[in-house]
Amino acid sequence: MISMKEIGKICGISESTVSKALSGYAGIKPATRDRVQEVARKYGYQPNAMVKCMQTGVSQSIGIACNHFQDLFSGAIMDGVQEVLHQAHYDSYVISWDKLVRSGENLLNRFSRRRVDGLLLLPMAQVPTASYTTQLYSFPNPVVLVDQFWGSREFDYVGSNNREAMKELVGTLIMLGYRKIGAVFYSKVSSGVERRAGFIDAMIAHGLPVNADSLCEVEHCDSCELDEKVLRLLKSEDRPDVLVCFNDNLAVNVMNAARDLGLRIPEDLAVTGFGNLPFSDMIRPRLTTVDQQAEEIGRQAARLLLDRISGKGDIKRQEILIPARTILRQSSASDQNK
Amino acid sequence: MISMKEIGKICGISESTVSKALSGYAGIKPATRDRVQEVARKYGYQPNAMVKCMQTGVSQSIGIACNHFQDLFSGAIMDGVQEVLHQAHYDSYVISWDKLVRSGENLLNRFSRRRVDGLLLLPMAQVPTASYTTQLYSFPNPVVLVDQFWGSREFDYVGSNNREAMKELVGTLIMLGYRKIGAVFYSKVSSGVERRAGFIDAMIAHGLPVNADSLCEVEHCDSCELDEKVLRLLKSEDRPDVLVCFNDNLAVNVMNAARDLGLRIPEDLAVTGFGNLPFSDMIRPRLTTVDQQAEEIGRQAARLLLDRISGKGDIKRQEILIPARTILRQSSASDQNK
DNA sequence: CTGAAAGCGCTTACAG
DNA sequence: CTGAAAGCGCTTACAG
């Protein structure tokens, strides 16, 4: 890549004049300016972004830590994030979170060395260890957590109103006539804990008993294997009429397992998900779920981070909750009042 | 972030001695070294990666152009790519391709300014315009195309053996007894053209007629809307026994449309996909498809790019085809010989 | 064993 | 209108 110094040599002028000519500085002879710009174009000159960073201390880039990329929820967040970054002329480094955790490498050091202006932490499969939290505290630039809490609640946060949204979903099921309501939760992430709480809120609010036997907790939420506990619940005499699941993926697994046992959906068992990922509308029966507006979560997270970087906005810690809405589809009956 | 100069001030020594102490240079008094390292740790010193790039011309980073992130195939490629980059201590910038095309911005200039050492172009929804191809030619560093061809075939390429794999799939269907074979293709991308060719290869090889009426071409492959042509084919008297689809997504749409018309799968109509994306095994009936080993495609693409960057390997243009394999599942009957 | 100097590619305040 | 100089943060060849 040609440099300003080389362009200067070609034009027979100094490096600093080249700089002024290319930056559109006023006090330059038009002929000089035109000549410089012509040479720059001819040789495909592009300014070195590193230099600007060294001079200003601002890299115009952020780091994004993503668990992995085969996840439609994270993908939708990423699309929203990229949209906002692109408008702000910001670039982003991505790091695959689970690979770093496995290799024991310090994630933040890699970002620090690149001098990123801020950090976006997308949801991961499990709450990270204390040592990661410690690293985060010592990161000098703004950090925004997306759809997850980490240790304490000191960092800015953007995510769904998981608790309220789950309460609303369960409330809707109760309105539809469902009474025997079971659930399959995954509580290794903060969103799981919140949805679980929302479930219990709704049950209590409607005076329904929360039965320990029909409240399953699973160890993994992205594999195809379903926990033994869930299968037992599906086979039990006292099977619920509806199973509320932590997310869409789990819901599909539950539907498949139920049908393998000969249960009809939603007649024998209704199932609900959470996320409204694309496949929830592609499977049959279509899945009743909760739309999280993942792209909007991404957009707001990126905006908040950029505001933090530029020093705009409230100084106080921010917590932005994006409202999630119940989407009724075929996997729950429209009227359970028989 | 503290600098070497500041560490030097704290320790009462020069910047260059700090540099030597931190780099593990031999000719340094152990006491000095220890003191410097202690201060560096205390203040969380991290070297500025920009400087190294300015000195060596190598940024240890690549650019990845991704169409968008809500795509499980691209996501799997990304995971493979990230794995290899991580081992090589390379970082990556991502740019959302479709956003740039819409905004008319020059993608490669953004990467050039960041001085990325190379470029990985992931599949996009459509073949890009000639102006993009022109940009690519003038990019000074190595470029690897992933699962797509662009204009000419001058760039390194890593992707599936689409044509062979489709030929194998169709051959297998014929072995199973299928004779009336229709297809739904999307030919706006090179992989679509190749799969279509493989389909025709197989039909010709087995002496079966290629019927224009049962060979549909669709305009979009990621929406939920199915083309009118496909619906007509499903409703026709002369409906095929199996519909071979460009990818898994299209296959699911076809299955849904077929079932809405009262057809049983696979008894009345078999359907096959391509990709073996996670949901192909989650839906019922499970989808017969072709496993593309997307992560392996990503790994090999990243390796090839890194080899190019370091100047290793053959100088000739490389074309690496990752073998894709037929996966028979429930959406095709195990024996159609009635 | 330590430090001053030059240089990577640029910008900007200052001199001419 | 143009150019020499300093400086961003580092490394390295050279001097002491």
Q: Residue A138 — very low, low, confident or very high, per pLDDT cuts 50/70/90?
A: confident
Considering Cα of A214, then A217, then A222, then A228, what sign does the dihedral take? negative
Cβ within 8 Å of residue B312, ≥6 positions away: none
CB B1 within 8 A of CB B16: no
Q: Which two tokens stand for residue B154?
A: 């001058």
Taking the C1' atom of every nucleotide in all shown strands and the CA of B52, the nearest one is: D10
- A214 forms beta bridges with none
Amino acid at A166: M
Is residue A104 within 8 angstroms of chain B, CB to CB? Answer: no
Using DSSP, state whether A3 is helix, strand or coil: coil
Which residues on chain B are in Cβ contact (under 8 Å) with A220? none
Is residue A82 within 8 angstroms of chain B, CB to CB? Answer: yes
Q: Is the peptide bond before A285 cis (omega within 30 degrees of 0)?
A: yes
> What is the rounded average pLDDT of the residues A12-37?
93
Taking the C1' atom of every nucleotide in all shown strands and the CA of B1, the nearest one is: D9
Q: Residue B124 — very low, low, confident or very high, per pLDDT cuts 50/70/90?
A: confident
List the single residue in A69, A93, A110 with the smallest CB-CB distance to B93: A93
Q: Residue A64 — very low, low, confident or very high, per pLDDT cuts 50/70/90?
A: very high
Q: Residue B290 — very low, low, confident or very high, per pLDDT cuts 50/70/90?
A: very high
List the single residue in B46, B109, B115 with the smallest CB-CB distance to A112: B46
Which residues on chain B are in Cβ contact (under 8 Å) with A110? 91
- Cβ distance A91 to B86 less than 8 Å, yes or no, reads no
Q: Which two tokens stand for residue A254?
A: 């539950």
Q: Which of B295, B283, B294, B281 is nearest to B328 (CA)?
A: B281
Count the helix, strand and coil residues of chain B and give each as a percent rounded to the nearest 5. 45, 15, 40
Helix (H) or strand (E) holding B320: strand B319-322
Interface test with B, best of A1, A6, A46, A92 (most B CBs within 10 A): A46
Q: Is the predicted pLDDT of residue A26 greater than 70, yes or no?
A: yes
User: Looking at residue A152, what is its pLDDT?
Assistant: 66
Cα gap B270→B250, rounded to integer Å: 14
Residue A290 or A139, more confident:
A290
Q: Is the predicted pLDDT of residue A190 greater than 80, yes or no?
A: yes
Which residues on chain B are in Cβ contact (under 8 Å) with A75? 68-71, 75
Cβ within 8 Å of residue B23, ≥6 positions away: none
Main-chain phi, psi angles of B236, to 5 degrees: -70, 155
Mean pLDDT of chain A: 92
- How far from each other are the two terminal CA atoms of chain A, in whole angstroms? 74
Of A50-54, A134-138, A209-213, B23-27, the range with the highest mean pLDDT is A50-54
- Cβ distance A281 to B94 less than 8 Å, yes or no, reads no
Whether A235 sits with its Cβ under 7 A from any strand C atom: the answer reads no
Q: Residue A106 — very low, low, confident or very high, per pLDDT cuts 50/70/90?
A: confident
Mean pLDDT of chain B: 92
Nearest CA in chain B to A72: B70
Taking the C1' atom of every nucleotide in all shown strands and the CA of A8, the nearest one is: D3
Whether A32 sits with its Cβ under 7 A from any strand D atom: the answer reads yes
Strand A289-291 with A325-327, pairing: antiparallel
Q: Which residue has the tokens 């400087």?
A: B51
Interface test with B, best of A69, A107, A276 (most B CBs within 10 A): A69
Q: Is the predicted pLDDT of residue A50 greater than 50, yes or no?
A: yes
Strand C neighbours among A 44-83, CB < 7 A: 45, 47-48, 51-52, 54-55
Q: Which two tokens stand for residue A53?
A: 């960073």
Considering Cα of A122, then A128, then A133, then A136, what sign does the dihedral take? negative
Cα gap A190→B2, rounded to integer Å: 35
DSSP string for residues in B194-225: HHHHHHHHHHHHTT----GGGEEE-S-SSSSP
Cα gap B74→B249, rounded to integer Å: 14
Rg (CA), chain A: 26
A-B Cβ pairs (cutoff 8 Å, strict): 153
Q: Is the predicted pLDDT of residue A338 greater than 50, yes or no?
A: no
Q: Which of B322, B318, B275 is nearest to B296 (CA)?
A: B322
With a pLDDT cut of 90, the percent of chain A lying above it is: 76
Amino acid at B63: G
- Cβ distance B74 to A69 less than 8 Å, yes or no, reads yes
User: Looking at residue B151, what is its pLDDT?
Assistant: 65
Q: Which of A229, A181, A226 is nearest to A203 (CA)?
A: A181
Q: Is the predicted pLDDT of residue B137 greater than 80, yes or no?
A: yes
User: Looking at residue A336, what is its pLDDT?
Assistant: 58
Of A53-67, A221-235, B209-223, the range with the highest mean pLDDT is A53-67
- Cβ distance B99 to A86 less than 8 Å, yes or no, reads yes
Q: Is the predicted pLDDT of residue B129 greater than 80, yes or no?
A: no
Taking the C1' atom of every nucleotide in all shown strands and the CA of B14, the nearest one is: C3
Cα gap B113→B108, rounded to integer Å: 9
Q: Which of B267, B276, B268, B316 is nearest to B296 (CA)?
A: B276
> What is the rounded average pLDDT of the residues A120-148?
85
Interface test with A, best of B5, B70, B223, B259 (most A CBs within 10 A): B70
- Cβ distance B94 to A72 less than 8 Å, yes or no, reads no
**Integer distance in angstroms from CA B37 to C1' C4?**
23
Cβ within 8 Å of residue A69, ≥6 positions away: A75, A96, B69, B74, B75, B76, B78, B79, B82
With a pLDDT cut of 90, the percent of chain B lying above it is: 76
Using DSSP, state whether B44 is helix, strand or coil: coil
* Interface subset of B 114-133, CB within 8 angstroms of A: 114-115
Give all strands (DSSP E) within B50-186, no chain letters. Answer: 61-66, 91-96, 119-121, 143-146, 156-160, 181-185
Cα gap A75→B122, rounded to integer Å: 15
> What is the rounded average pLDDT of the residues A270-286?
94
List the single residue in B53, B79, B92 with the smallest CB-CB distance to A70: B79
What DSSP designation does A259 have?
Answer: H
Q: What domains lie within chain B, and their CATH numbers?
A: 4-47 (1.10.260.40), 59-160+294-322 (3.40.50.2300), 162-292 (3.40.50.2300)
User: Looking at residue B252, what is its pLDDT?
Assistant: 95
- B275 forms beta bridges with B291
Sheet-wide strand order for A270-272:
A215-217, A181-185, A242-245, A270-272
Nearest CA in chain A to B259: A284
Name the CA dihedral angle for B158, B159, B163, B164, rounded to a multiple of 10 degrees: 90
User: Looking at residue A206, what is its pLDDT?
Assistant: 96
List the single residue in B76, B92, B103 with the smallest CB-CB distance to A94: B92
Whether A49 sits with its Cβ under 7 A from any strand D atom: the answer reads no
* Interface subset of B 256-275, CB within 8 angstroms of A: 256, 259
Of A124-133, B55-64, B311-320, the range with the highest mean pLDDT is B55-64
Phi-psi region of A139 (alpha: psi -120 to 50; beta: other; left: phi over 0): beta
Query: Which tens digits make up the pLDDT trace of B186-238?
Result: 998 999 999 999 999 999 999 999 988 889 999 888 776 788 889 999 999 88
CB B4 within 8 A of CB B23: no
Of A294-303, B27-36, B102-111, B117-126, the range with the highest mean pLDDT is A294-303
DSSP string for residues in A116-144: -S-EEE---SSPPPHHHHHHHHT--S-EE
Q: Which two tokens stand for residue B213?
A: 């009426």
Q: Is the predicted pLDDT of residue B338 greater than 50, yes or no?
A: no
Cα gap B164→B174, rounded to integer Å: 15
List the single residue in B48, B75, B96 with the smallest CB-CB distance to A70: B75
User: Looking at residue B220, what is its pLDDT?
Assistant: 84
Residue A100 or B293, more confident:
B293
Question: How far is CA A222 from its chain centroid?
Answer: 16
User: Looking at residue B126, what is its pLDDT?
Assistant: 72
Q: Residues for chain B: how many in total?
A: 338
User: Looking at residue B324, what is its pLDDT?
Assistant: 98
> In the structure, how many helices (H) and strands (E) does chain B have?
13, 12
List the single residue in B100, B114, B282 with the smallest CB-CB distance to A224: B282
